Structures are given as C-alpha cells and as structure tokens.
Amino acid sequence: MKKSDAACSAIHAASSETQVITAIRHYLSTLEASEVALLPREIVDFGLGHTEDAVQSALYLVHTQMLRLGDTPEAAMLNDVTLVFSTAARRLAALAKDTT
C-alpha cells in the first residue's frame, strides 16, 4: 500500500480534527528526504499548527498541481501529497459540519 493511501485511510477513519492532523503529520514523517525535496517549499515550511493550516495547504497543493501537470517524479509526488491534504480538508469539513 502506498504511503498516501495509508494516510487517506487513517484520515477517513479519523473521528476528530486532532486525529486528521495527526494522520497528516505521520504521513509527512514517513516521506524520504528525496520525496520532501520534491514538494513546494511553502508546504514544508508551513507546518500544521491548526486545522486551517491543513485546508490552506490542500488548496495550495491543488493550485500547484494544476500548474505542474506532467509525467515527472515531482508531479507524481505532488499528486500523492495533494491527495492526502485534499482528503484531510474534506474530512475536516465533514467533522466541522457534525459539530455545528
């Protein structure tokens, strides 16, 4: 199973915002230095202090991914990370809806 698939599974199973952020942090910690080097510097530097950070990162990654379409290792890595962050953003939205 790909790391991004495992992360998305953990995110889907999360029952709180904290669990979603923990799943993203775990995913990022499993990336090799060579994989992290393929990510936009803004994502690496941004951090995940709050749920809003995950949503902002997801939107930034989607935008970046749309600009870098192609068949390169960078595009493939960006696709995986975009999948994880966009899955987290959707889950966070669902959790927020459940609490209001």
Q: pLDDT, tens digit, for every residue of 56-97? A: 777 777 777 767 667 788 878 888 888 888 898 889 888 887
Both tokens of residue 52?
């809003």
The rounded distance, in Å, linking the Cα atoms of 46 and 14 is 22
Name the packing angle between helices 17-30 and 51-67 (round to 10°): 50
Both tokens of residue 91?
């889950």
The rounded distance, in Å, linking the Cα atoms of 9 and 44 is 22
Judge contact between 24 and 48, C-beta under 8 A: yes
Q: Is the pTM of this model over 0.85?
A: no
Judge contact between 95 and 16, C-beta under 8 A: yes
pLDDT tens by residue, 12-23: 999 998 999 899
